């Protein structure tokens, strides 16, 4: 469903030029959930933004369902590939009701049956009709992220890009949102690409995981390898230790990769 080959991204010019992504390659089968993990600044979100079309200055090859993509994307791509952003506080318009937020993509793509689609997708993400005419500030963080997920689902896409969808939420809410995403993926046979710095999250969600550092690929591992701590690279092992929480003695022994 998704194939990325020899992806390179540069930001800036001259002495300030930054080679942010360096030859990243991976493929994701239909219905699979694929993870991109690494510490902050590793380039994982930049890869996701290249696939979504938000970053246009890249080189390499990106294909969706066999169709090669360029920097500009058409409406059909936008319907087939949707994105859920990290911050539900910033990704929803503060002056638009949930109803208006969800109807906008339906109107742009001229799908019709706006009211039916809104009611159906709100029910699918666990929000009742009483949320329909509320504003984002009247919702909790978890409810806002459910609305963001509903907005991505309402166009009935085949691929959903998830940029750390739970990192801005309380720990008690994170599991609920992750379980919701997993249930929806199985019901709709969706393809996910999930970006996270938390190996526990990708272990729960993803079939295969690409570990990145400083814009480069470190290794690709399966969920079973992650759960068994069967790594070939010390960086992956160190990343797993770091994701378990802060320990001064352990952190002092970390290497700089």
Mean pLDDT of 33-48: 93
Q: b/e for 118-143, b at 16 or more Cβ within 10 A?
A: bbebbebbbbeeebbeeebeebebbb
Band (pLDDT 50/70/90 cuts) for residue 247 is low
CA torsion, ordered 111, 183, 163, 128, to nearest 10 deg: 60
Task: Domain count for the chain, please give it.
Answer: 1
Give domain status of residue 144, yes or no. yes
pTM of the model as a whole: 0.91
Give domain status of residue 239, yes or no. yes
Q: Report percent pLDDT > 70 for the chain.
A: 96
99-121 pLDDT per residue, tens: 999 999 999 999 989 999 999 99
Give domain status of residue 30, yes or no. yes
Give domain status of residue 257, yes or no. no
Surface-to-core class of residue 225, CB atoms within 10 Å of its CB (0-12 exposed, 13-18 middle, 19+ buried): middle
Q: Which two tokens stand for residue 144?
A: 């806002």
User: Strand 18-28 to strand 159-163: parallel, antiparallel, or no bridges (unpaired)?
Assistant: unpaired
Choice between 163 and 252, residue whose per-residue pLDDT is larger: 163
191-238 pLDDT per residue, tens: 999 998 888 888 889 999 999 999 999 999 999 988 888 888 888 888
> CA 238, 244, 246, 247 torsion: positive or negative?
negative
- pLDDT of 246 over the 80 cut: no
- pLDDT of 38 over the 70 cut: yes
CATH number, domain with residue 118: 3.40.50.300
Residue linked to tokens 């329909």 = 132
Q: Which domain holds residue 12?
A: 2-252
Give domain status of residue 26, yes or no. yes
Query: Contact 100/123 with Cβ under 8 angstroms?
Result: no
Mean pLDDT of 2-15: 94
């Amino acid at each position: 469903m998704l194939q990325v080959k020899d992806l390179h991204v540069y930001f800036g010019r001259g002495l300030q030029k930054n080679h942010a992504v360096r030859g990243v390659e991976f493929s994701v089968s239909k219905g699979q959930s694929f993870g991109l993990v690494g510490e902050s600044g590793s380039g994982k979100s930049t890869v996701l933004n290249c696939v979504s079309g938000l970053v246009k200055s890249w080189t390499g090859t990106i294909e969706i369902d066999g169709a090669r993509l360029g920097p500009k994307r058409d409406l059909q791509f936008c319907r087939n590939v949707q994105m859920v952003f990290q911050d539900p506080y910033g990704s929803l318009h503060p002056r638009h009701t949930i109803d208006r937020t969800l109807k906008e993509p339906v109107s742009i793509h001229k799908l019709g049956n706006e009211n039916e689609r809104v009611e159906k997708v709100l029910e699918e993400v666990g929000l009742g009709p009483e949320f329909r005419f509320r504003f984002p500030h009247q919702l909790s963080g978890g409810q806002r992220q459910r609305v963001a997920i509903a907005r991505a689902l309402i166009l009935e896409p085949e691929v959903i890009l998830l940029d750390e969808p739970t990192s801005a939420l309380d720990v008690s809410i994170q599991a609920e949102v992750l379980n919701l995403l997993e249930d929806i993926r199985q019901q709709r046979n969706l393809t996910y690409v999930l970006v996270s710095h938390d190996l526990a999250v990708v272990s729960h969600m993803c079939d295969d995981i690409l570990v990145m550092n400083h814009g480069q690929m470190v290794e690709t591992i399966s969920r079973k390898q992650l759960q068994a701590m069967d790594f070939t690279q010390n960086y992956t092992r160190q990343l797993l230790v770091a994701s378990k929480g802060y320990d001064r003695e352990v952190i002092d022994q970390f290497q700089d990769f």
